[in-house]
Amino acid sequence: MKAAVIGSGNIGTDLLIKIIRGSGNVTAAAMIGIDPDSEGLARARRLGVPTSSDGVAGLIALDGFDEIDVVFDATSAAAHHRNAAALAPYGKTLVDLTPAAIGPYVVPPVNLDEHLDARNVNMVTCGGQATIPIVAAVAAVAPVHYAEIVASIASRSAGPGTRANIDEFTETTSRALEQVGGASRGKAIIVLNPAEPPLLMRDTVHCVVDDCDTGRVTDSVHAMVASVAAYVPGYRLKQEPQFRALAADDPLTGLAGGGRLLVSVYLEVEGAAHHLPAYAGNLDIMTSAALRTAERLAERSRVR
């Protein structure tokens, strides 16, 4: 399956390098940007990948455009709306790494196979890719009445796009915790950690559930962590899942209604450092999830 990457910034460049380094099912057919002097386009050219600095119009005009099957969009939410409209007549599958969320939310180990026929799939957010699998793992054992996640990322790994989209991050992640993770209510918080040297991405997941078999929850969480780590090797638990009975006057009990159990899971995401620093696990998990999505599309296409 031939793929084009729109967006020549850090995320687009990291994704391009991942495609070239390790994907047998997906090949890099083009990198598209809007700045002819961008380092991402220069690197793509050095790697022998066709480029254009004319945005989506340049992609459509590119030799070999008809052979491209999937287009990764690593631009911005506003740009993705324009790109999707421009590409709609051509029947390409779009993998959206922005918060635009035109198509269904996709988290590979949770619901990818449900959306293999969608023409536009959304990778939610970095925090969503890290935490939604855990909420889904807990929900597989007991109904999750309320899920709250805190994604802490190195300030250095949050570029202008991330900072401009913080509201979209919290709103998109909260919705996806419910729609994909299975929580009745979801809340997302992002923290830009200014520590020097930069710290690895850390994610905290709190789920309010009815009293349940904690051993089964732990097993389900471990199985899900292994599933994510299969395509994000730096994804890991920091400690065993924690369980606490909620008192009747606990604010979380009030949110869920009645006496409940709080399940807390603490994660760390270390980047593969293909292009981005290892502390930028928040960006690495997005590009890894996007590539895993395209690889699965290619596998399904080959079987057909």
Q: Which residues are annotated as a binding site for NAD(+)?
A: 8-11, 157-165, 282
Binding site per annotation, positions: 8-11, 157-165, 282
- Is 126 one of the catalytic residues? yes
83 CB-side CA count, 13 A: 33
Tell me which of 3, 126, 139, 205 is the catalytic residue. Answer: 126
Q: Which residues of 16-53 are buried (b: 16+ CB within 10 A; e: fewer)?
A: bbbbbeebebbebbbbbbbeeebebbebbeeeebbbbe
3-state SS, 20-87, equals: HHHCCCCEEEEEECCCCCCHHHHHHHHCCCCEECCHHHHHHHCCCHHHCCEEEECCCHHHHHHHHHHH
Task: Please give the Cα distance from 277 to 173 (Å, whole number).
Answer: 24
Rg (Cα) of the chain, in Å, rounded?
A: 19
**CB-based burial label for 74 (10 Å; 0-12, 13-18, 19+):** buried
Task: Please give the Cα distance from 261 to 143 (Å, whole number).
Answer: 11
Contact of 156 with 279, CB cutoff 8 Å: yes
**CB-based burial label for 293 (10 Å; 0-12, 13-18, 19+):** buried
Active site residues: 126
